Amino acid sequence: MINAVSNYEKTKLSMANVFLQYDQDTMIAKFSLKHDPSWLYLSFVKRIYRINRKSGNVQWSEDDCDMLPPLKSYRF
């Protein structure tokens, strides 16, 4: 049996790899992103997202507070 992979999943994996090629420190500075050693945090359409800095995986939560690191982790 062949497992079909949707175009959405293919694109998501491809873009995660593209993201990892960018200089994260440059992105952090250019877009004033909150971050910690594991994640970059950004707000889009009234929702907080986080992007794993090693895998490019994107996550979000209905309760944005689940995702936010302790305030002391932020660099301003």
36: which residues sit within 8 A by CB, 6+ positions away?
A: 69, 73, 74
* Mean pLDDT of all residues in 21-36: 95
Could you give the 3-state DSSP secondary structure of residue 57? coil
- Give pLDDT tens digits for 33-67: 999 999 999 888 888 889 999 999 888 877 766 66
The whole-angstrom distance between residue 29's C-alpha and the CA centroid of its chain comes to 15
Residue 17 has pLDDT above 60, yes or no: yes
Tell me the DSSP string of 59-74: EE-SSGGGTPPPGGG-
